[in-house]
Structure 1
Amino acid sequence: MDTDPVLRAYVLHRLQQRWSPQQISRALRLAHPSEPARRIATETIYQAIYRPNSGILGEPACSPLRTGRDHRRGHTRQIRARRRFAQPMLSIHDRGFEPTDRSEAGHWEGDLIVGPHNRSAIATLVERQTRYLKLVHLPAHDSTELHRALVQVLRHLPLRLRQTLTWDQGTEMARHLDITADTGTRIFFCDAGSPWQRGSNENANGLLRQYFPKSTDLSVHTAGDLARVESQLNTRPRIVLQDRTPAALFTALLGSENHPSLR
């Protein structure tokens, strides 16, 4: 890469677009299947980031990785406890399919990313089969605003593409029965302390923290800001989708009456 300015420029541009090293490597492999010299390994890109003095990528002001890391370190995960609802609620165990089953489209996972002291929030929705992301602007962090915003978003989708929504047991979902009544979308709740039951949404929220860092005021971001981030993430190739993009797959679903499997 250090001897090929075109390849170096390609990698730098994709890093600026917040692609991961793996996404960049796989895209090059697809673009140049018979030209090994025009491809680069994932680990090589990581090494260039972790060793900025090598001169391969120059000396960026900050790490281009979504994690912000400029060195390797172990991964940890913090599991947040959630309060349970007093009113009737549907458990994820009543949903009819396992968290690993993505054979049918129209099932979503959702959550909030929140700012300091829970005073600002953005709702995140991920369609489970295509990993298509929707970001929902919330003027206020409460169940009334979430109800209004989710109804507005879900009503724009065909009924077959808004069958269920799986959420954790946060109090912002206190009006879940109203959401179902207004949209026909059944709301299911995860077990307390089980974020893996919303794996696609948890992954998306991790990606979003590069755009919306923790401990920052989320209310400063407009609906237009969210639309730009949404577009950028939905047009990235994903290894789990065989290097297709969520946007392409979701568009195919919208244009298909039968919604064939996209696995």
Structure 2
Amino acid sequence: MKCTGKKQEDEKVPRASATLGLPQLNGSEDTMGRTKLIIENRGRHTHFTWEQRLQLQYHHNGTNGYQKIRSPLVLGTLLGKHESTIRRELNRGMVEHLRSDLGTVREYNAEYAQLDAKLKGGAKGPDLKLGHDWALVEEVTRLVRDKGYSPYAVIAEFNNTHWPSGTRICEKTLYNYIQAGYLGDLTEKDLLLGGKRRKAKGEPKRHSRAAAAAKSISKRPQEAEDRSEFGHWEADTVVGGTGSSPTCLLTLTERKTRFEITRRIDSRTARAVKEELDVIERQIGPTFFRLLFRTVTGDNGGEFADIAGLEQSVRSLQQRLVLYFAHPYSSFERGTNENHNGIIRRFIPKGSDIADYSKRKVRTIQDWMNAYPRKILQGMTPSMALQAELGPELRLPKILEVKR
């Protein structure tokens, strides 16, 4: 007895074959009377070739105009290999890439898989671009270990200043070499966040009654929303561990350029925040302050409750900025500032007493962040981006300049 679904199955096979762009031989049936899908032998080999790895990368990641295909079974059909072979190859070449927002994405990388295969005596691929260029290896190691740079930041730093040798490599190649162990004892563990991204838990915030009467983030100018104009900031406080001193950090992040101002303050209070903004205004002058600070968006914490005090100049008593508040429990509305606070936690771990870190140390952290090349800024540092916004006729005040 023939299968009742034979006609339907026979119709599916050509459609599936056409979708995948595969050749089919008709006329052969299995024991149930259904048409078999027969794939041409496209030169099956025990090992993956470089071309096959590239094709796997394009299909798996959906790049270079290829349709994204995640199924090992379908990928195996495309490449003429068994499903288990595809799974092993994906495990071999799967890498984590750090995004500009410090999150990670897992993708199959053909070059890394080829390097791994070469290291283990498998398929032969192109020679390493580094060769014996130890000057480049040493400088990469210094930037990653001593300055905490990611592979992207390393390449951007070389492009912004100078390459230590004649060898040129790209960000992905550098990632691959580190993960394959081709840079001496430099490993993934030396990378920013160790190649992993931990999801930070939101800290409980104290909500102020004054914030209810403040301007909502929904009324913020469009120039602040779309980052088309510099001078719009996000603000927050970073506190110490339970039982530690009340000393905390006031963090201010400029939305367009990602420029960071981090100050140690005595307490997480409206008075302390207001006084520190007054200090900044005195240091850079009221005119430059109004140019630099058009708006500030804070959360609903009590430390931003003195709306009038924060908005009013300590010098002229005129309005120096406009204060907006994010919606309650919506830290994502200040995402840039939240990401920067996560970077600060690399230097000042959660649970630490902020009082143990001097103002000089806090300034060092601020300078590191402002001198760090960012992919979202096309390789520029926040300091460079802010100076570009100011133009050649204006210079950053010394109190905000990066100290190398």
The number of residues matched between the two structures is 248
Deviations 1:194-232 (A, max 9, x none): 122112211211111111111111112222222222112
Question: How do residues 20-35 of structure 1 correspond to structure 2 at under 5 angstroms?
Answer: 20-28=150-158
Match of 1:177 in 2: 308
Q: Conserved in 2, the CA contact under 8 Å of 1:2 and 1:8?
A: no
Q: What code does the residue aligned with 1:121 have? A: C
Shift of 1:161: 1.7
Match of 2:360 in 1: 224
Question: How do residues 1-263 of structure 1 correspond to structure 2 at under 5 angstroms?
Answer: 1=130, 3-15=132-144, 16-28=146-158, 37-42=167-172, 44-45=174-175, 48=178, 54=181, 56-58=183-185, 63-67=189-193, 69=194, 73=196, 75-87=198-210, 88-97=213-222, 100-117=225-242, 119-155=246-282, 156=284, 157-182=288-313, 184-255=320-391
Change (3 A) 1:59 1:28: closer
Large movers: runs of 4+ above 3 Å: 25-32, 40-47, 62-66, 72-75, 79-84, 252-258
**Uncovered stretches (5+) of structure 1, i.e. residues with no partner:** 259-263
Tell me, in whole angstroms, the C-alpha distance in 2 between the residues paired with 1:200 and 1:171.
21
Tell me, in whole angstroms, the C-alpha distance in 1 between the residues paired with 2:176 and 2:345.
20
Using the size of structure 2 for normalisation, the TM-score is: 0.55
Shift of 1:188: 0.7
CA-atom RMSD, angstroms? 2.9
**Uncovered stretches (5+) of structure 2, i.e. residues with no partner:** 1-129, 314-318, 395-404
Deviations 1:68-96 (A, max 9, x none): x3xx5564342345343212211101112
Deviations 1:95-129 (A, max 9, x none): 12276511111111111111112733111111111
Bigger CA radius of gyration? 2
For CA contacts below 8 A with separation 6 or more, give which structure has more relative contact order: 1
Q: What code does the residue aligned with 2:205 have? A: R
Tell me, in whole angstroms, the C-alpha distance in 2 between the residues paired with 1:65 and 1:170.
34
Q: Which has the higher mean CA deviation after the structures are superposed, 151-160 or 164-173? A: 151-160
Q: Conserved in 1, the CA contact under 8 Å of 2:229 and 2:256?
A: yes
Change (3 A) 1:83 1:46: farther
Q: What code does the residue aligned with 1:8 have? A: V
Q: What code does the residue aligned with 1:111 have? A: D
Q: What code does the residue aligned with 2:260 have? A: L
SS at match of 2:238: strand
Shift of 1:255: 4.7
Give me the identity figure in percent: 25
Using the size of structure 1 for normalisation, the TM-score is: 0.81
